[in-house]
Structure 1
Amino acid sequence: MFYYIKKFWKMSGIIIFMLFIDAGLSSYRSLALMESLEELVRGNFRGFLFWTLLNLLCVVLVQVFVAVEDILGKHVIRKMNNQVRRDMAATMLQMSHGEFHKRQTGEYLSEFTKDIDQIESLAWGPFFNWISMAFTVMHSIIALSCLHWSLTVASLASALIMSLAPKLFDKKMEAAGAACTREQAKAVSKLKDLLAGYDVLRVFGRNRRFLQGVSQCSDGIEGPAFRRLRTQTITGKVLAVAGILCQGGISIWIGFLSFQGVILQTALFGSGKLISAVADGLNALTDFRLSIASSKPYFEKITVHDNGSLEKADREMLPMRNGIAVEHLSFRYGEKTVLEDRNLRFEKGKKYALTGPSGCGKSTLLKLLLGWLPDYTGTIRFDGTDARDYTPEQLQRQMSYIEQDVFLFNTTIRENITLGEEFTDEQMERALGDSALTGDLAHMPEGLDTVVGEEGSNLSGGQKQRVAIARALIHDCSILLIDEGTSALDQKNADIVEQSLLSNPDLTLILISHHLTAERKKQFDRVYDLTPAHLSAL
């Protein structure tokens, strides 16, 4: 948490300074009130008027400071929330492909939304409130010391007790916060899955299951939050009782000093407010401390802080000059072997097809080349260098990858192709032509600026694949991996796309297909059949 406070230290520092002044004005108003009452008892109207006007001035200044603090506070919280989300994204980028996909999208979505809400309510707000209360307690103690030194000692003793007491409950609150974030993430993930299956449940008349599922997910979100708040409330009230006892002791001591004539009797009126400020402040400090402790699990998820660039500082991988050599490659998912002792070679600029039955490891091979699946045996070499010497990011800069299940962002076709980068009109036209997308755009009123909808819902399956192919071509990587990337195209468009890819002399193409005609096979430099040996023998 304090990393973000320090990162935005200028704005946070201004807010803290204003909180210091605000707390001082609020506390010393009590002394002004005591002085005005004293002058009233003495019958000195001018003195009474002076101290009363001074008191009113303090009230006005406090309101001005509170308004400015509120605006600046919301601004810095917005910036810190944005930085936390950016660091969450940076943390995800450090995950391997396997690590990222161990969790469902709904869990990550929960972190970007629910976790941020919890951080704001448990960390940012309580932090600044804690600072404000700490200053209030400090100024109130100083004001009390103006009445008698023993009140300072008593207040400090009370402050010490109330600052140490919360440590007894820190671990309990951290555990409650960790349980809350874990259970809420699971509930949000289940809710996302339920919403995705809405049509299936409606078709089969399972409306009751949909309603029950939403109710269960809702309880899964609200229940952990309730249990965390219950623990925090009970703990806070136990500590509040301790604070009240400390306040009562100081009040009795002030009464004793007053009756002994050590301090003025008018001090009973003003000092009561100061004592309340100390006691309430100590109680609030305890609550805020417990709240901040509850926020710790949310920050522990963030293991990477992005300081201006999400790019990993890797040495640049040189463009491929010769080719890729796969030697004695084996891979298994758990107990299931999908590739066993495979030896393949892909030379620069040549075209290759991978065929074989489902489950024989064609898609797995492409993911191994991309560096997504590190737990293999054997060797993959790029120009003689072991792929393990490179990071997945370095490997992926050399390759474009088109999956069978194309994903498109809910933005325009142009943005889905360029991914926010700048390309010339000539580059765009060539990519559109080579992907057979030009004809589709001619029938769209908005052309390249057509919004594709969530996950490309406004486009057909073939159009989505053509957008994905244009995206791969315009980024001009020297190696193109296609996993059934033309399966949704009609024969005419498939021929246009495949002919464009096969005729590009600078492109190394590795394409997976279940349905290669004899005529098409002749156009590839080599076709690798990955059918396992025990099936080939049948």
Structure 2
Amino acid sequence: MEILFKEYSQVIWQRKWFFLIALSALASITFLDLSVPLYYKNIANGLAEPYSETTLATLFENLKFIGFIYAGTWLLWRLVEIVMVPLGAGGANMLGKRCFHVLKNHNYAFFEKNFSGSLIRQVNRFCHSYEIILEWVFFQCFMNILTITISFSIFYRQQREFAFYFLIWTVVFMTWNITYSIWKMRFDKSVAQSDSKLGGVLSDALSNIFIVKSFALEPSEQVNINQASDQVYQTKKTSFKFMFISFAVQGLMTFGMELLLVYLIIQKWKAGNFQVGEFVLFQTVMIILISRLWGFGRNFPLFFSALADAMEMAELFNPTDIETDESHARPLTITKGAINFNNIHFTYCAHPHPKKLFENFCLRVNPGEKVALVGQSGSGKSSLSKLLFRFIEPQQGTVRFDDIAAKDITLSSLRKQISVVPQQSDLFHRSIRDNITLGRDIPDEQLINAARKSHSLEFISSLPDRFETMVGERGVKLSGGEKQRIAIARAFLENAPVVVLDEATSALDSLTEKLIQVAIFDLIKDKTAIVIAHRLSTILHMDRIVVLDHGNIIEQGTHHQLLDLRGKYYAMWQHQSGDFLVE
């Protein structure tokens, strides 16, 4: 809750002048609204008198003031509407940017554990809740407190007994709303959590629509969506039931107070000390007040629902999972490209059963050396690449670049100096140009040259919009091989001193693979390269092949040296060689 109010307060502080203008305008509106019954009181008392020119003049005088008040109120509401745009929608816009800033700074493991669809829903609710809470603060909390204060003053000046009855009723009414809404908040949180789960299930199904359709999974996925949606409905139904109970109690309180007021007025009239104008005044004020408090009562649960919606995202502002640079880290340039894994200890602590992977692991990659990592799944190949990018951090030991500890280099400068061609080359739903340049302003000559080297220029040129062709979400409009070549073109353009190839040719047919291998060797020439491979045909010409098994190096050497050992690598080669030509 503290984080939530801190973030919302910062937005309001940055737009404090709009906030103050809105408060002043609403205070003036409330004062004017409650001053109108005073003039209606005078009109009612005047109408109760016999006709005279003096009385008529008094009636028109009061009517004139009411007209001025209505005109002023109309202008003030227009002012409120104007300032609410930058304060409400503008504030939500700032919070949306802030949410992305917080999310992108979370470590890589966070995104492996959370659905993107759930996160998107949390961001949307966080921003929308700000607007709901802001409106509640203005139009319910502030205006009602002011209305109660002014109404009590009017009642106290006219009939002190009524004023105290009114005060007691107001305290009971507000206490009920606050305590009941706080109690009900647990159910509102359940609604928010089930809604996030539904967003995650929807995102998971839609982002894997190829698998869903290929395996005819539409019925089973529909069942999953239905179950998640039904869960949202059930939690909402429970929350609504309790909200309706609150409305029912508020209605009884309101009707009871109105009946009591009229009864007391009748008693005062019976005693002969109550004017018609006072009845009009009290009744008009009570109508305004009851209308405001009824709105307050109906919106108070929505206020707590908005809090519950926003708190799920607010919890992600907790800095425990945030990527941060060390205080002494500096942007440094990798010149040679030497990499050293020095006495690395790493355990996947987040795993339900902590899994030790590396223990006293050491590997040195010399400047410009091309090293392939091979081994069965779970041997540690991908984990080493994550350690390079600092997506994960070792519990002990250091990763060094040119004898500089990775933690001494800022994350941004480190990652900019490592190019990666991943196994699954998902692309942004943007143009081919944007996916290669990653938003940088690159001359067409360089762009075309990178596309040519990656053997992607030919298929790009055949597209109607060439480099401006939109690739669809995650690049669905392109084939796997085309996406892979776009990723390789991106690496050519980046020209980083260290290159990581994670099964970079896995999505290519054999003929294209041969062409791309030429491009890859052109890419990694004069660079340090780490190549993760399952298909051994792609690493025949590496300077060194490192065979991993459960986080340990069991063999290393050139292709021919490892074949001569007749060990693990030899067995793997024998298993795959029937599918590839041996040179």
Give TM-score, length-normalised by structure 2: 0.80
Q: 1:365 to 1:82 in 2, by over 3 A?
A: same
Q: 1:248 to 1:339 in 2, by over 3 A?
A: same
Measure the CA separation in 1 of the matches of 2:394 and 2:186: 34
Q: Which residue of 2 aligns with 1:59?
A: 70
Please state whether the residue corresponding to 2:364 is helix, strand or coil: strand
Which stretch has the larger CA shift, 378-387 or 176-185?
378-387
Measure the CA separation in 1 of the matches of 2:69 and 2:428: 55
Q: Which residue of 2 aligns with 1:529?
A: 547
The structure 2 residue matched to 1:501, chosen from 523, 530, 553, is 523
Alignment of 1:137-536 (within 5 A): 137-196=148-207, 208-260=219-271, 262-300=273-311, 301-302=313-314, 304=317, 315-321=329-335, 323-333=338-348, 334=353, 338-339=357-358, 341-388=360-407, 392-393=411-412, 395-489=414-508, 490-503=512-525, 505=526, 507-517=527-537, 521-522=540-541, 524-531=542-549, 533=554, 536=568
Q: 1:100 to 1:392 in 2, by over 3 A?
A: farther
Measure the CA separation in 1 of the matches of 2:410 and 2:247: 49
Measure the CA separation in 2 of the matches of 1:313 and 1:57: 64
The question of 1:6 aligning with 2:13 is answered yes
Measure the CA separation in 2 of the matches of 1:480 and 1:205: 39
The structure 1 residue matched to 2:137, chosen from 127, 145, 150, is 127
Please state whether the residue corresponding to 1:221 is helix, strand or coil: helix
Unaligned runs of 5+ in 1: none
Measure the CA separation in 2 of the matches of 1:318 and 1:391: 8
Measure the CA separation in 2 of the matches of 1:79 and 1:169: 32
Q: Which residue of 2 aligns with 1:36?
A: 43
Q: 1:391 to 1:437 in 2, by over 3 A?
A: same
Which stretch has the larger CA shift, 243-252 or 106-115?
243-252
Unaligned runs of 5+ in 2: 556-566, 572-583
Contact 1:452 1:458 in 2 (8 A): yes
Please state whether the residue corresponding to 2:420 is helix, strand or coil: strand
Deviations 1:94-141 (A, max 9, x none): 3221122211122112213355445544x2332332133333333333
Which stretch has the larger CA shift, 446-455 or 207-216?
207-216
Deviations 1:238-284 (A, max 9, x none): 34534554555455445445555555232102211202323343343
Which stretch has the larger CA shift, 38-47 or 230-239?
230-239
The structure 1 residue matched to 2:120, chosen from 98, 109, 116, is 109
The amino acid that maps onto 2:520 is E
Residue 332 (structure 1) shift: 4.7
Please state whether the residue corresponding to 1:514 is helix, strand or coil: coil
The amino acid that maps onto 1:536 is K
Please state whether the residue corresponding to 2:430 is helix, strand or coil: coil
Measure the CA separation in 1 of the matches of 2:529 and 2:150: 73
Q: 1:478 to 1:201 in 2, by over 3 A?
A: closer
Which stretch has the larger CA shift, 43-52 or 142-151?
142-151
The amino acid that maps onto 1:97 is Y
Residue 327 (structure 1) shift: 2.3
Measure the CA separation in 2 of the matches of 1:361 and 1:166: 57
The structure 2 residue matched to 1:15, chosen from 22, 28, 35, is 22
Measure the CA separation in 2 of the matches of 1:8 and 1:358: 53
Deviations 1:404-455 (A, max 9, x none): 1011111111222233232344543443333333223222231211111111
Q: 1:249 to 1:478 in 2, by over 3 A?
A: farther
Contact 1:412 1:448 in 2 (8 A): yes
Contact 2:330 2:408 in 1 (8 A): no
Which stretch has the larger CA shift, 47-56 or 60-69?
60-69
Q: 1:205 to 1:364 in 2, by over 3 A?
A: closer
Which stretch has the larger CA shift, 291-300 or 199-208?
199-208
Please state whether the residue corresponding to 1:266 is helix, strand or coil: helix
The amino acid that maps onto 1:469 is I
Q: Which residue of 2 aligns with 1:97?
A: 108
Q: 1:209 to 1:97 in 2, by over 3 A?
A: closer
Which stretch has the larger CA shift, 59-68 or 267-276?
59-68
Measure the CA separation in 2 of the matches of 1:205 and 1:325: 47
Contact 1:371 1:391 in 2 (8 A): no
The amino acid that maps onto 2:13 is K
Residue 365 (structure 1) shift: 0.8
Residue 149 (structure 1) shift: 4.7
How many residue pairs get aligned? The number is 530
Measure the CA separation in 2 of the matches of 1:23 and 1:521: 81
Measure the CA separation in 2 of the matches of 1:60 and 1:48: 19
Q: Percent identity?
A: 21
Q: 1:12 to 1:419 in 2, by over 3 A?
A: farther
Please state whether the residue corresponding to 2:283 is helix, strand or coil: helix
Which stretch has the larger CA shift, 70-79 or 415-424?
70-79
Measure the CA separation in 1 of the matches of 2:347 and 2:326: 31
Contact 1:413 1:451 in 2 (8 A): yes
Contact 1:319 1:478 in 2 (8 A): no
Contact 1:501 1:509 in 2 (8 A): no
Residue 202 (structure 1) shift: 5.4
Which stretch has the larger CA shift, 80-89 or 148-157?
148-157
Q: Which residue of 1 aligns with 2:89?
A: 78
Measure the CA separation in 1 of the matches of 2:213 and 2:444: 46
Contact 1:91 1:305 in 2 (8 A): no
Measure the CA separation in 1 of the matches of 2:89 and 2:318: 17
Deviations 1:201-259 (A, max 9, x none): 55666655454444333323333333323323323433453455455545544544555
Deviations 1:321-359 (A, max 9, x none): 452211233545545555454321123343322223333
The amino acid that maps onto 1:55 is I
Measure the CA separation in 2 of the matches of 1:189 and 1:178: 17
Q: 1:528 to 1:313 in 2, by over 3 A?
A: closer
Measure the CA separation in 2 of the matches of 1:311 and 1:451: 34
